A and B are shown apart, each in its own frame.
Chain A
Amino acid sequence: MSCEVGALSESLPPELVVGFLREQIAKHRDRSPKLTDGAVTFAVTAKNGLTDYFTLFITASDVALEQGAAPIDYEGPVVTLFGSAAAIAGITRATTADGIDVLGDRTLLKAVARCLGKGASMFAVRAKK
Chain B
Amino acid sequence: MTELAKVPPQLWRVVSEIVDASVASQHFGKLSPTAVTELKARIKDDFDAGEVGLGIQKLLNATPTRRARRAVADLLDSALVSLGVDTAAAAANWQVVLEQLSKAPGLDGLGAPNLRASPIRDAFRGISIRFDQDVRSKLRLTSLELARLDAALKKAAGSEQPITSLQALEKKLEVSKLPDATLMGFVSGYRKGEAWTDLIRIYEAAPADFRRHPSAIREYALALLQTGHADRAHDALRAAVEAGDRSTGTLGLFGRVLKDRYDAAKAAGDEGAKKYLSGAARTYTSAFRRAPSELYPGVALPVLLEERGNLSEAKRVARLIFTNAERRASFGERHYWDAAAALEMALVLEQPGDAKKWLGRALDSESERWMRKSTITNLTRLEGVRQAAKLPTTAIRAAIEALTEASGVPSYSGHDNSRSQQLSNVLNTTYRMGGRTAKWLSGNYSYEGIAHDVRVTPADVAYFDRVLSASGISKLRNPLQASAAMDQLIRAQFNTVEMENRKSPLHQRYDRVMPGLAKLMAATASNSQTNVSADWINRLADCRQHAPAKLLLWEAWKTGRTDSLLNQIDAADHSGDSAKLAKLKLELSALNAWELRIMDAEIVDAKSGQPIEEHTMTLLVRRKGAAPGEAMGELDELRLADSFYQTVFALGQGVVTPSTKDGRLWIDVPTKGSDGRAIAIRPAPYSFDRAAPSVDFGQLDFRGLQVASPGWEKGISVQGIDLKYLHDFAARPSTNDGPLA
B355 at the interface (CB under 8 A from A): no
Q: Closest residue of chain A to B152, judged by CB?
A: A71
Judged by DSSP, the binding face of B is helix
**Contact between B740 and A52, CB atoms less than 8 A apart:** no
Q: Known: A49-B450, A83-B737, A87-B737. Is A72-B149 also a contact (CB below 8 A)?
A: yes
| Interface 9-mer from A4-12, A94-102, A109-117 | A94-102
A20 at the interface (CB under 8 A from B): no
B269 at the interface (CB under 8 A from A): no
A125 at the interface (CB under 8 A from B): yes
Interface string of B207-229 (1 = CB under 8 A from A): 00000000000000000000000
**Contact between A69 and B151, CB atoms less than 8 A apart:** yes
Residues of A within 8 A of B144 (CB): 41, 43, 53, 69, 80, 82
B462 at the interface (CB under 8 A from A): no
Question: Of residues B143, B168, B516, B519, which shows the largest number of chain A Cβ atoms within 10 Å of its Cβ?
Answer: B519
Residues of A within 8 A of B267 (CB): none
Task: Give 4 nearest A-B pairs by CB, closest first.
Answer: A48-B449, A49-B518, A71-B152, A84-B737
Question: Of residues B110, B141, B154, B740, which shows the largest number of chain A Cβ atoms within 10 Å of its Cβ?
Answer: B740
Size class of the A contact interface (CB-based, 8 Å): 20 to 34
Residues of A within 8 A of B140 (CB): 43, 82
Q: Closest residue of chain B to A78, judged by CB?
A: B148
CA distance A41 to B449 in the complex (A): 24
Residues of A within 8 A of B446 (CB): 48
A68 at the interface (CB under 8 A from B): yes
Residues of B within 8 A of A71 (CB): 148, 151-152, 155
Q: Known: A53-B147, A80-B144, A82-B140. Is A73-B169 also a contact (CB below 8 A)?
A: yes
Residues of A within 8 A of B689 (CB): none
Q: Known: A87-B737, A101-B739, A101-B741. Is A45-B525 also a contact (CB below 8 A)?
A: no
CA distance A106 to B293 in the complex (A): 61
A126 at the interface (CB under 8 A from B): yes
CA distance A69 to B154 in the complex (A): 11
CA distance A80 to B141 in the complex (A): 10
CA distance A126 to B450 in the complex (A): 30
Q: Known: A43-B140, A125-B739. Is A52-B151 also a contact (CB below 8 A)?
A: no
A51 at the interface (CB under 8 A from B): yes
What are 13 A-B pairs with beta-carbon distances under 8 A?
Answer: A48-B446, A48-B449, A48-B451, A50-B524, A52-B525, A53-B524, A68-B151, A70-B148, A73-B169, A87-B737, A99-B739, A101-B741, A103-B110
**Contact between A49 and B523, CB atoms less than 8 A apart:** yes
Q: Closest residue of chain B to A98, judged by CB?
A: B739
Q: Known: A49-B515, A49-B518. Is A73-B741 also a contact (CB below 8 A)?
A: no
Question: Of residues A49, A69, A80, A82, which shows the largest number of chain B Cβ atoms within 10 Å of its Cβ?
Answer: A49
Residues of A within 8 A of B118 (CB): none
CB distance from A25 to the nearest CB of B (A): 20
Residues of A within 8 A of B451 (CB): 48, 50
Q: Which of B143-186 contact A (CB under 8 A)?
A: 143-145, 147-152, 154-155, 168-169, 172-173
Residues of B within 8 A of A126 (CB): 739, 741
Q: Which of B724-740 contact A (CB under 8 A)?
A: 736-740
Interface string of B127-150 (1 = CB under 8 A from A): 000000000000011011101111
B522 at the interface (CB under 8 A from A): yes
CA distance A73 to B169 in the complex (A): 7
**Contact between A48 and B155, CB atoms less than 8 A apart:** no
CB distance from B181 to the nearest CB of A (A): 14
CA distance A103 to B739 in the complex (A): 12
**Contact between B148 and A69, CB atoms less than 8 A apart:** yes
Q: Which of A35-93 contact B (CB under 8 A)?
A: 41, 43, 45-53, 68-74, 80, 82-84, 86-87
Partner of A68, one of B147, B515, B519, B522: B147
Using CB atoms and an 8 Å cutoff, list the residues of chain A in contact with chain B.
Answer: 41, 43, 45-53, 68-74, 80, 82-84, 86-87, 98-101, 103, 125-126
CA distance A101 to B516 in the complex (A): 19
CA distance A98 to B515 in the complex (A): 22
Partner of B740, one of A51, A72, A82, A84: A82
Q: Closest residue of chain A to B168, judged by CB?
A: A73
CA distance A126 to B740 in the complex (A): 10
**Contact between A50 and B152, CB atoms less than 8 A apart:** no
CA distance A83 to B525 in the complex (A): 16
Judged by DSSP, the binding face of A is loop
Q: Closest residue of chain B to A85, judged by CB?
A: B737
CA distance A68 to B158 in the complex (A): 14
Q: Closest residue of chain A to B147, judged by CB?
A: A69
Q: Closest residue of chain B to A46, judged by CB?
A: B525
Residues of B within 8 A of A125 (CB): 739, 741
**Contact between A45 and B155, CB atoms less than 8 A apart:** no
Q: Closest residue of chain B to A101, judged by CB?
A: B740
B528 at the interface (CB under 8 A from A): yes
Residues of A within 8 A of B519 (CB): 45, 49
Residues of B within 8 A of A41 (CB): 144, 148
Residues of B within 8 A of A49 (CB): 449-450, 515-519, 523
**Contact between B523 and A51, CB atoms less than 8 A apart:** yes
Partner of A73, one of B150, B172, B450: B172
CB distance from A105 to the nearest CB of B (A): 15
Residues of A within 8 A of B152 (CB): 71-74
CA distance A71 to B147 in the complex (A): 8
**Contact between B151 and A70, CB atoms less than 8 A apart:** yes
**Contact between A99 and B737, CB atoms less than 8 A apart:** yes
Residues of A within 8 A of B141 (CB): 103
CA distance A99 to B525 in the complex (A): 21
Residues of B within 8 A of A51 (CB): 143, 522-524
Partner of A72, one of B110, B173, B522, B739: B173
CB distance from A68 to the nearest CB of B (A): 4
CA distance A125 to B168 in the complex (A): 36
**Contact between B148 and A48, CB atoms less than 8 A apart:** no
CB distance from A48 to the nearest CB of B (A): 3
CB distance from A90 to the nearest CB of B (A): 11
Question: Of residues A45, A72, A101, A126, which shows the largest number of chain B Cβ atoms within 10 Å of its Cβ?
Answer: A72
Residues of B within 8 A of A99 (CB): 737-739
15 extra interface residue pairs, beta carbon distance < 8 Å, beyond A47-B449, A72-B145? A41-B148, A49-B517, A49-B523, A50-B451, A50-B524, A51-B523, A68-B147, A68-B154, A72-B172, A73-B168, A84-B736, A87-B737, A98-B739, A101-B739, A103-B110
Residues of B within 8 A of A72 (CB): 145, 148-149, 151-152, 172-173
Residues of B within 8 A of A47 (CB): 449
Residues of B within 8 A of A48 (CB): 446, 449-451, 515, 518
Question: Of residues A82, A103, A126, which shows the largest number of chain B Cβ atoms within 10 Å of its Cβ?
Answer: A82
Residues of A within 8 A of B739 (CB): 98-101, 125-126
CB distance from B384 to the nearest CB of A (A): 50
CA distance A126 to B110 in the complex (A): 13
CA distance A52 to B525 in the complex (A): 6
CB distance from B133 to the nearest CB of A (A): 12
Residues of B within 8 A of A69 (CB): 144, 147-148, 150-151
CB distance from A67 to the nearest CB of B (A): 8
Residues of B within 8 A of A50 (CB): 451, 518, 523-525, 528
CA distance A125 to B738 in the complex (A): 12
Q: Closest residue of chain A to B447, judged by CB?
A: A48
